[in-house]
Amino acid sequence: MRWRKEEITMSKQVKLSQEEGYTYVDGGVCAAKGFVANGLNCGLNSDPGKNDLGLLYSAQPCDVAAVYTTNKVKGAPILVCKEHLAKNGNQARAVIMNSKNANTCNADGVEKAKEMCRLAAGQLKLQENEVLVASTGVIGQVLPIEPIRAHVEQLAAGLSKDGHAKAENAIMTTDTVPKELAVSFEIDGKICTLGGMAKGSGMIHPNMATTLNFITTDCAIDASLLQKALSEVVRVTYNCLSVDGDTSTNDTVLVMANGEAQNAKITKEDENYRVLYRALYIVMRNLTRMLAKDGEGATKLLECKLSGAPDQNCAITVAKSVIGSNLFKCAIFGEDANWGRVLCAIGYADASFDIEKVDVSLGSAKGCIAVCQSGAGVPFSEEEAKVILSEDEICVYVDLHQGEATAESYGCDLTYEYVKINGDYRS
């Protein structure tokens, strides 16, 4: 398989490719039947126009799959989520979430996270273990529970099908645009929907990143199969995303399936499973691209499309190495076709291949230009390359010519603005 250049748009929104059998729909995490959400400002964020507390709720119990950060330092909310899912048979009904404060590296962190669950459970008439929790923001600052306690009744009372945007706003930190997506599809003659929302702009690097991701579906599927699908899709989407080389402490992906579409429950890896799997991939891949394009200070979405690898592990490793190169990110910011930095990143990837067979091209909506063939530079027009790199979505195509495996990785350029944002992040 060889990659084709994709159509590209000039905005913070990514171009969505249509796929037969799947229809993009509005509503984010509330697009699926039985899910409602809300968000508001409780005072954690001093800007009253910015939500900082959110809630997602399902009318029916949900089978839940989850993936968390690989950082050895894990936020208290992750510890509580793991405990609640273990006690409740991988089921839940709600997620309470906040921004501005990560509730990480605090002596009272677990108790505060549990208190958030108790507060939400009290309003929703649930057991504490039926509520999950997620936080994002500054690490190492004590989370004030009083503002949350004072506003949780209002938060629950405002739950609605239209509340997805408010909940999305509640988890945004340095994000400049919301990140929501949903698709509908058919299983057993029933229309099913799967939708998600994500946050993340900086401190993002494989594996898992400073991202909170909530995905809902009304499709009925066994929790173990849902977990299998999530773990596999994460490997080729979020785990192939890099903004700045830092892996955070609170990264969470939760997928909740409540079965309200009333399809026959998926209990084996049959065609119905594959249909649901593809829907999950479509949503998660595009959310990953949204996260990459909105990287802190970013001016360009950067994608590496790698082909010709001997196996997928090699393909993923090399593609991630390219997208993680800060030198290459800087070159893209400067619209400099410095392809040697691509070869350098390929060369230090922990994978086995013959570098003398590698081809590299750079592409965008303005065209595609070969810069390296068989591991060596080829003559090209710097002026043409400059025009190609002037677009806001850039793709580097790498062909190893040593097999059929492919992979994609996602990132952005590295800019002056990134340093400015992270120089005064706490203020």
What is the set of active-site residues? 210
Closest CA to 52 of 209, 133, 168, 164: 168
If 0-12 CB within 10 Å is exposed, 13-18 middle and 19+ buried, where does residue 271 land? exposed
Rounded Cα–Cα distance for residues 168 and 175 (Å): 11
Rounded Cα–Cα distance for residues 300 and 171 (Å): 23
Could you tell me if 402 and 310 are in contact, meaning their C-beta atoms sit under 8 angstroms apart? yes
Closest CA to 211 of 302, 132, 106, 288: 288
3-state secondary structure 293-308: HCCCCCCCEEEEEEEE
Number of C-beta neighbours around residue 366 at 10 A = 17
The crossing angle, in degrees rounded to 10, of helices 326-333 and 340-347 is 160
Place of tokens 């997602």: 56
Strands (E), 218-289: 241-242, 252-257
Peptide bond into 338 cis (omega under 30): no
Number of C-beta neighbours around residue 237 at 10 A = 24
Cα–chain-centroid distance for residue 335?
26
If 0-12 CB within 10 Å is exposed, 13-18 middle and 19+ buried, where does residue 270 land? exposed
Local structure of 125: helix, strand or coil: coil
Q: How many helices (H) and strands (E) does the chain have?
A: 11, 16
Q: What Å distances lie between residue 44 and 38, 100, 130, 156, 201, CA to CA?
A: 16, 6, 25, 18, 20
3-state secondary structure 130-199: HEEEEECCECCCCCCCHHHHHHHHHHHHCCECCCHHHHHHHHCCCCCCCEEEEEEEEECCEEEEEEEEEE
Closest CA to 423 of 296, 245, 265, 315: 296
